[in-house]
Amino acid sequence: MQRMKDLRQYIEKLEQLEDIRHVDRVVDPHLEMAAITRRSYDLHAPAPLFSNILGTDKGMRAMGAPAAISSVAGKPAARVALSVGLPEDASWQEIVECLATSTKAEGIPPNIVATAPCKQNILHGADASLDRFPIPYLHEGDGGPYCNTWGTIVARTPDGKWTNWSIARIQKLDAHRMTGLIMLPQHIACVWEEWRKIGKPMPYALVQGCEPALPIVSSMPLDDYENESDYLGGHFGEAIDVVRCETIDLEVPASAEIVIEGHLSIERECEEGPFGEYPGYMVTETSMQPVYHVECITYRDDAIWPFIPEGRPIDEFHTAVGVAMSAEALSMLREADLPVTTVWSPLETANHWLFVTVPSDWRDKLPGVDSEAFAYQIGQKIWQTKYGSNCPVIYVLDDDIDPTNPADYLWALPTRTHPTKRRVIDRGPILPLLACYTDEECQEHTGDRVVHDCLQPAPDRGRLRHSSFEGAYPEEIQSRVIELWDR
């Protein structure tokens, strides 16, 4: 496993793959920078690195599409794979398997270092102004520029027992204030509630531009009181270096480009949103949220601010959350002794669907259990977890298809899903950001979920062969055709 220890090392690797595009002309952080990045998603183009940004301090840079679909031919998952320490040609299934395996590794606590490059510049008080930085206005119709779409929020419970690293959207209000979505069951909301109980504002650090694995791990739905820093150390087999903050009792990743320090208010006192979220629609809803007060900013020389203009698939929300949620679900189902091959949240569905594939011999491992009961067990296990509220639709399929390949699942789903039968509908908690629910369901945080039993008969009980090149012709014919035709 090759760990990219900071964002700059990662960018150097993308340079070698010709998967970075330098944008040296003047660009406006008001919509233009985000529009260029959205266009790069549509074209599967190299990630844009902006170095001449209107209205920001000299030397400030920004990076779009840091973990989007790669432009490298035949290696669509390269950016995500490299981010988590895998070769650039790793498949989506291999990435999920790797992260799922790491959930069982013994965590390694972080290592505190005396200083780090993010201390090269230190701003306090009035000098700690967000106006110095290339904070993008991402979509026409957003409530304002958004300071956080790919950074990590560091927060610790008052008792010091849990240090959480997570991602949540944060909107800029002015030079010294931000507001952001604080919504259960997200862990940032859990930590904030603990501070509310004792009537004290929550110390926080917003970290931009860390080593590339960090935003992906910050997206993972780990268990309560499980530190992402320890998981990341266990994943790489070595401790993550952290450095103490200047004004609050927190440590942040030493690989950071920019660190914003301050306190989060205990009252919901400011309107946040609207924001073009990951389902792909420009919503109009706003809500009252706490205020992040900015008290100190530290940053590297020529700092890089990564960002993602979330929206219609495929962008980093879909790649990072899709991979993270799939890995956590795979680990949990295996821990429950359910025979599963892999789990995948298809990127094209804006993470509204979840596929679970199972081996052909699953009946041998679960004697007396029929396919509908098996599918229901899988659905119940997933819906009982923290991330279950993100999974309104689950399909249980045989592993004779690749669930990450749209050509496979767009064939398998319509031919194996009965229009009205072999499904179980359940009602429970939902994430109100999901676009498939009614306004009433979103307000109540409760709605219907469904698991579809798409399993075929057992191989010796009537399962049909694929009418395909691999399934309908003897191996010797296949070999001859490949030899003569694929020259």
Report pLDDT digits (tens) over 470-484: 999 999 999 999 999
Residue 202 marked ligand-binding: no
pLDDT of residue 166: 96
DSSP state of 116: -
Residue pair 337/182 in contact by the 8 Å Cβ criterion: no
Residue 481 CB partners (closer than 8 Å, separation 6+) = 469, 473
**Structure token pair of residue 444:** 């109540």
In the chain, where are the structural domains located?
Answer: 7-307, 336-453
Q: How far apart are CA 89 and CA 72, in angstroms?
A: 9
Question: Which residue stretches of the chain have pLDDT < 50?
Answer: none
- Ramachandran category for residue 45: left, alpha or beta (phi over 0 → left; psi -120 to 50 → alpha): beta
Residue 1 marked ligand-binding: no
pLDDT of residue 19: 99
pLDDT of residue 249: 97
CATH architecture designation of domain 336-453:
3-Layer(aba) Sandwich (3.40)
Pick the CATH number of 7-307 from 2.60.40.1930, 3.20.20.70, 2.30.110.10, 1.10.1370.30: 2.30.110.10
Q: What are the distances in angstroms from CA 240 to CA 124, 195, 323?
A: 27, 26, 21
**Structure token pair of residue 72:** 């490298």
Residue 220 marked ligand-binding: yes
pLDDT of residue 103: 92
Active site residues: 277
Residue 228 marked ligand-binding: yes
The residues facing 342 across adjacent strands are: 357
Closest Cα partner for 322 from 446, 220, 440, 424? 220
**Structure token pair of residue 334:** 């295996």
pLDDT of residue 485: 87
Question: Tokens 């080593």 sit at which residue?
Answer: 211
pLDDT of residue 339: 98
